[in-house]
Structures are given as C-alpha cells and as structure tokens.
Amino acid sequence: MILKRKAQSGSTRTAGFSSLTGLTGVGIAAIAVTLAAMLAATPALAEMIETPQIVKWQLYLQPSATEVMEDIHSFANLTMWIVGFITLFVLGLLIYVMVRFNAKANPVPSKVAHNTMIEVIWTIVPVLILVVIAVPSLRLLYKELEVPPADMTVKAIGMAGWSWTYEYSDVLDSKKQPVSVGSISLTTADSDSRTDPNTQPRLLAVDNNFVVPVGKTIKVLVTAEPISVIHSFAVPSFGVKVDAMPGRLNETWFKAERTGMYYGECSELCGQGHAFMPIAVQVVTEEQFKAWSEAAKTDVDKAYKVLAQAIDADTKKLAVASK
C-alpha cells in the first residue's frame, strides 16, 4: 500500500510500509551493537558454565552433570537466541518509528488501518517460531519423564522434620531390609555444625550424603512422610525436579557422568524449615560405591568413613601417577 502525504516543506512524497527499509539506519545500528555484545559474551558464558558448581553471584544455569541437563542447557541457549532476536527486532522497529514518524518529522499522520501482507507475516512467523521451540521442548520433556531401565533404585522421602531419608532398594542389611540413610542439614536456624566451610557450603551441606555410583542409571522414587507436607526433590545439575507428596509415589531418574558433589534443595515452600532442607548427592566411582554399600549394610556411620578413606586413597594414587 502506497500513501501520499505532505512533508513539512510542502513537497509530496510517497511513504508506507515499504519505508520500513529505513530500518537500516538507527534500528539496524542498535541491533548490530547488541548482537556484538552477545557474541562477545559467548566465550565468557562458556567459561562460566565450566566453573565449579556453586559460585557467588552465579547468573547462568549450574554446570550439567547428566545428559538430560546438557539438553536443558542446549534448549535454554536456543530459546535465548530466539527471544534475543525477537527483542532486538522489536527494539529496531520502535527506534525507527520514534525517529521516522514522530510529530516533528511526520506532521500529517497516516490513516492506514491494515495491511494484508504484514498481517499474514505476523501471524505465520510466530507460529513457525513456536513450532521450532515445541519440537525440542517435547522431545526433552519425554526424555525427562521416560525412565530407562535402572541399575539402581532409591526412594527419597521428604520428612516432617525438614530432612530427607534415602532408602536403597538394592542394598539390603542383615535383616533383608533396604539400607536407610537419614540426611540432615548441617546448617539450621539455630546452629551451624559444619567443620570445613570451604567444602561444606552453608545451607547445602548435610551429615550423610546421597551416595550413588557414576555412570549408572539411578531411578528415584520420590514421596513424603505421611504426616509431612508437600516437598520437592530438585538437583539442578542433574535436570531433576519432582514433587514429594504424602501418600503418593512419583519417580524420576538421572545418570551422573562425572564424580563429585552436587547440591539441590527442596523447591516447594514447605514451612518454617524449608530453607534447611538441602539435597547433597555424592557421585563416586563404582569401586568406592561398593565399599560404601558393603559397610552400610551393618553401620551407616562407618560406611561414610570407609568412603572417605577410599576417596583419599584414590586421590593419592592419581597424584602419584600424574608425577
């Protein structure tokens, strides 16, 4: 659609939607500057992803320790670029309209009501964008919810006293009952029993870690104590978050690809002790887990000492081998 209007000088000139090509001016400049900043930040973002799991003033997602979380990272990056381009495009249009069609530059405003081509474009393009987002989104959602054949099953129970209990269905004690491990925060509202603040983060460290072997598919049955309230089992580095509800059994899974400590917290407002309900998952080698599980069959406290000794021994062996 082509319109004719009078400029301030009194001369007649054509204008309309085709004049949007003027976006190559101020709008394109704004987009170019912002894109340059985004690209310049990419190496810094990649470096931040590789930093230790917990850092002060962390802005991005925690580093991934599972394939699922790696896919979540990829999906987050995809949506960030899509949203970024949309935002920059709209910003460019706004800047162009403010500069090109303000009252001073355009004293006689257009009375255009609609344009068929533009309306078709702004209907179809959002649909295509949603399709691009929906396909990987649904694939990722299916991957998170479909539990593969598990190497080990653990029941995570949210307790009424704002703590967690882990029952290892595949590790049986002398009475043929699953080994049960209570996990309580070392930091509470009234006390702080941490012995090494450098390795025991405040509000995240616990007395007994949730110990699992690396490279094994762990199926987690999540529930809450009957007299408790709704909790939520969440470990960001694993891409895991599922509600723990009294009287109901939910399930999730993860397969840690690297050894180390990974922290999470109850992600459901559950009362006065909500801030003191951390989840500490310790991923160890298969040999270290076997040593821990054998000792846990008779004495859980002793099992953690055995595990610490096994880790120290392996660390020393690696130090000697690297020399």
Give pLDDT tens digits for 129-172: 999 999 999 999 999 999 999 999 999 999 999 999 999 999 99
How many domains, the chain? 2
The pLDDT of residue 95 is 95
Same domain for 230 and 139: no
Find the mean pLDDT for residues 192-218. Answer: 91
Same domain for 139 and 209: no
Give 171-219 as a DSSP string.
Answer: EE-TTS-EEEEEE-BSB-SS-B--S-TTTS-TTT-BSS-EEEETT--EE
User: Domain holding 78: CATH number?
Assistant: 1.10.287.90
Same domain for 63 and 94: yes
* Per-residue confidence band for 68, with pLDDT thresholds at 50, 70 and 90: very high
The answer, yes or no, to whether residue 278 has pLDDT greater than 80, is yes
69 neighbors 237 (Cβ within 8 angstroms): yes
250 neighbors 221 (Cβ within 8 angstroms): yes
User: Domain holding 200: CATH number?
Assistant: 2.60.40.420
* Per-residue confidence band for 29, with pLDDT thresholds at 50, 70 and 90: low
Q: How far apart are CA 84 and CA 273, in angstroms?
A: 39
Q: How far apart are CA 115 and CA 117, in angstroms?
A: 6
Same domain for 68 and 96: yes
Q: Output the pTM of the full model.
A: 0.79
Question: What is the percent of the chain with per-residue pLDDT over 70, rounded to a whole number?
Answer: 83
* 176 contacts: CB under 8 Å, gap ≥ 6: none
73 neighbors 64 (Cβ within 8 angstroms): yes
Same domain for 134 and 74: yes
Q: How far apart are CA 268 and CA 64, in angstroms?
A: 22
Number of residues in the chain: 323
The pLDDT of residue 86 is 95
Structure letter (DSSP) for residue 246: B
Same domain for 312 and 203: yes
Domain range spanning residue 23?
2-145
Which helix H or strand E contains 47, and what residues bound it?
helix 26-49
* 264 contacts: CB under 8 Å, gap ≥ 6: 233, 234, 235, 236, 237, 238, 240, 278, 279, 281
The answer, yes or no, to whether residue 228 has pLDDT greater than 80, is yes
The answer, yes or no, to whether residue 17 has pLDDT greater than 50, is no
Four-residue CA torsion sign, 153, 136, 37, 43:
positive
* Per-residue confidence band for 1, with pLDDT thresholds at 50, 70 and 90: very low
